[in-house]
Amino acid sequence: MNTDKKPILSPSLLSADFSNLAGELNALEEAGLTWVHWDVMDGSFVPNITFGTPVIAGCRKKSGLFFDVHLMIEDPDRYLENFVRAGADLLCVHAEACRHLERTLSEISRLGAKPAVALNPHTPLEILEYVLPQLDLVLIMSVNPGFGGQKFIPFSLEKIRRLKSMITARDCKTLIQVDGGVPPDNTRELTECGADVLVSGSAFFAHPPYQKRLETFITAAKD
Ligand code: DX5
Ligand code: ZN
């Protein structure tokens, strides 16, 4: 039970002002955020297209935030080096998009970024069985990927609980990230289930000022 630990909030830029990304990143940093979530979409793995390495590289020069990069792209092996060079601190690949997941994760580590795996709502946790010890983070998708502003899928709570027991049983240091439909009012339940990092897009960026919004998320997790 994650009762005393404060969750990390990683705002998803998908809901930020795309005409002013450097300004948004600066505002996040000033508001006290430490992580930011980049939703990279290729229009094939998910039915939407967002941004790629040139945008991330451009923003890297202007931001000290931890770049948590969520690759919703087919066959991510093709771009691992580019994203690390662009400044990704953590690279999260979808298990459903990797033919040789262990090799992909080892390559991310070799390149110097933190390896992470994302699971779509339907994907069972068992797929992590043999790679869990090499993971810095597992991303539990609590919506079907591709869009912001969707509703949280309730069975994600049980999935987070089961993942937490898998991590504890194996004595791993793997963080649990929850992504999709996370407003402040369910942060307490999520942290109690074992979530360490919460991704929020629409429920965060739609409610400036960001410092106040961050406090709302953090206090709600402890109430
Ligand atoms: C969806 C993305 C999420 C999404 C979260 O494919 O992975 O990060 O942007 O947005 P909200 O918080 O609005 O559900
Ligand atoms: Zn995401």
User: In this model, does residue 44 exceed pLDDT 90?
Assistant: yes
Considering every ligand atom, which ligand is closest to the CA of 14? 1
Question: Ligand 1 pocket, 203 CB below 6 A?
Answer: yes
CA separation, residue 85 to residues 43, 77, 101, 177 (Å): 23, 14, 21, 24
* Best of 9, 10, 39, 48 for a ligand 1 pocket test (most atoms within 8 Å of beta carbon): 39
pLDDT band at 4 (very low <50, low <70, confident <90, very high): low
Mean pLDDT in residue range 36-59: 98
Residue 159 Cα to ligand 1 middle (Å): 18
How far apart are the CA of 180 and the centre of ligand 2, in A? 7
Residue 95 vs residue 5, higher pLDDT: 95
Model confidence band, residue 1 (pLDDT cutoffs 50, 70, 90): very low
Binding site membership of 182 for ligand 1 (Cβ less than 6 Å): yes
> Per-residue pLDDT for 2 more than 70?
no
Q: Which whole number is the average pLDDT over 126-137?
A: 98
72: CA distance to ligand 2 center in Å?
Answer: 8
Q: Is residue 60 pLDDT above 50, yes or no?
A: yes
Q: What is the DSSP string of 187-215?
A: HHHHHHHT--EEEESHHHHTS--HHHHHH
How far apart CA 179 and CA 19 sit, in angstroms, is: 24
| C-beta 10 within 6 A of ligand 1 | no
Q: Which residues contact 114 (CB under 8 A, 6 or more apart)?
A: 89, 90, 91, 108, 136, 137
* Residues ≥6 apart with Cβ < 8 Å to 152: 142, 143, 180, 181, 182, 186
Q: What would the 3-class secondary structure string for 9-25 be?
A: EEEEHHHCCHHHHHHHH
For residue 49, how many other CB atoms are within 10 A of its CB? 12
Residues 6+ away with beta carbon under 8 Å from 163? 125, 128, 138, 140, 176, 194
Percent of residues, the chain, with pLDDT higher than 70: 98
pLDDT digits (tens, 9 = 90+) for 148-166: 999 999 999 999 999 999 9
Confidence (pLDDT) at 223: 72
CB 39 near ligand 1, within 6 Å: yes
Is pTM, for the whole model, over 0.75?
A: yes
Task: Report d(CA 18, CA 4) in Å as an integer.
Answer: 35
Task: Give the alpha-carbon dihedral of 216, 201, 158, 76, to 10 degrees.
Answer: -140
Using pLDDT thresholds of 50, 70 and 90, give the confidence band for residue 222: confident
CA distance 117 to 66: 17
Residue 124 has pLDDT above 80, yes or no: yes
Name the one residue in this structure whose structure tokens are 């580590």. Answer: 109
What is the chain's mean pLDDT, rounded? Answer: 96
CATH class, domain 8-222, is: alpha beta
> Span 197-209, mean pLDDT?
97
